Amino acid sequence: MRIHYFVVGVSLMVTSIVASIAPATAVPTVPYSDYSAQGLITLCDRAGHPVTTGQITDKPFVWRAVSSQPASAAYSGHGQTATLLAYQPRPHAYPPQWSGDTLTSSSTYTNPAAPMAQATRLDFTLQDFLHEFPPMMNGFIQLRIYLGIPGKETLTTTYPSADIQVTGSTWTLVDGGHSGCTAGSATASEVVAVASASPHAGTGSAASSTATTTPGTTPSSTATTSSGSSTTTPAGGASGATGPPPGDANQQLGAQAASGSPFAAATSSSFWRPMALAAVLLAVAGLLTLRARRRRPQNQHVKQA
């Protein structure tokens, strides 16, 4: 019995020594403090699920960013917007002095209790930001959501935040939210711009057009007719028509260019033929002028003789 207790005691002692020598992998600690940060940001994939890691080359960086901090009354209402930004923490510098840039365009959103920024394939990758502002504090980058509303300056004095750490080509969420991806819907301004540039926008019976992207659903366009009724069609076009995948603004732009939209005007033959003719005429005029200048000194020399 004494031998048994002795063996157990020795085992516990060895376990304690090993644990002190090789502790479990610790969660990285954010190496800075930001007293303007209020609330956390949840990062979401295209299906509406929270994500905590990804590749810096993913385009977009994430498909949606959601704040756990509700919008204040001053920034709630018609036209309320949210934008996701990244900032470069710097040693011996306060957070308002850090350098940053946008990762998404501004988005209008439906739920003031969960402001959210919607991304598209037109937005930047995290790698784009890192080329501009490389990490300076152990690979950490701070994310922020700035709120806006018509008639007011963008709110930058307080904001929800998240902290990610970049290791090689991978980013990992160290401090952030984990819920709220489907707490509402959001519309990226890029999607609205694409819809507005459509050949059918502003013509015929359509007086207005908006497109809304909700994770896990197919974006749709709602058009208000002259009679006051509204119709909803898939973003790819009418029923049975083929079009770009949901939420892919890059391919929407490409489809519009191929269909003769204003984006295709600059590449049409009616545009380039006059330009080519003008270039030829300018080249001929330049050659004639150069020849005249070369002949002028020779003529003067003959007169002097």
Per-residue tokens: 170: 């991978």
Output the pLDDT for position 27. 73
Q: Which residues of 38-65 are buried (b: 16+ CB within 10 A; e: fewer)?
A: ebbbbbbbbeeebbeebebeebbbbbbb
User: In sequence order, what DSSP letters do the residues of 222-276 get, joined into one string?
Assistant: EEE-TTS-EEEEETT-STT---PPTT-HHHHHHHHHHTT-GGGGGGSHHHHHHHH
Domains and their CATH numbers in the chain: 37-175 (2.60.40), 186-259 (no CATH)
pTM of the predicted model as reported, rounded to 2 decimal places: 0.61
- Where is 37: in which H helix or E strand? strand 37-44
Output the pLDDT for position 105. 95
CA-CA-CA-CA torsion sign (129, 131, 135, 139): positive
Stretch 143-150: mean pLDDT: 98
Output the pLDDT for position 218. 38
Output the pLDDT for position 284. 54
pLDDT band at 77, cuts 50/70/90? very high
Output the pLDDT for position 11. 54
For the ranges 10-19, 74-83, 219-228, 265-274, which has the lowest average pLDDT? 219-228
Mean pLDDT for all residues in the chain: 73
Residue labelled with tokens 């926008």:
201
pLDDT in tens, 90-139: 999 999 999 999 999 999 999 999 999 999 999 999 999 999 999 999 99
pLDDT band at 26, cuts 50/70/90? low
pLDDT band at 191, cuts 50/70/90? confident
Output the pLDDT for position 194. 73
Residue 117: name the closest of 109, 127, 125 by CA: 109
Stretch 55-75: mean pLDDT: 97
pLDDT band at 13, cuts 50/70/90? low
Answer whether residue 173 shows pLDDT above 50.
yes
Answer whether residue 7 shows pLDDT above 70.
no
For the ranges 52-66, 171-185, 256-270, which has the lowest average pLDDT? 256-270
Output the pLDDT for position 193. 76
For residue 274, cis peptide bond before it (omega within 30 degrees of 0): no
Helices marked H in the chain — which ranges? 2-21, 126-132, 189-196, 249-258, 269-304
Answer whether residue 154 shows pLDDT above 70.
yes
pLDDT in tens, 207-229: 333 334 445 443 433 333 333 33
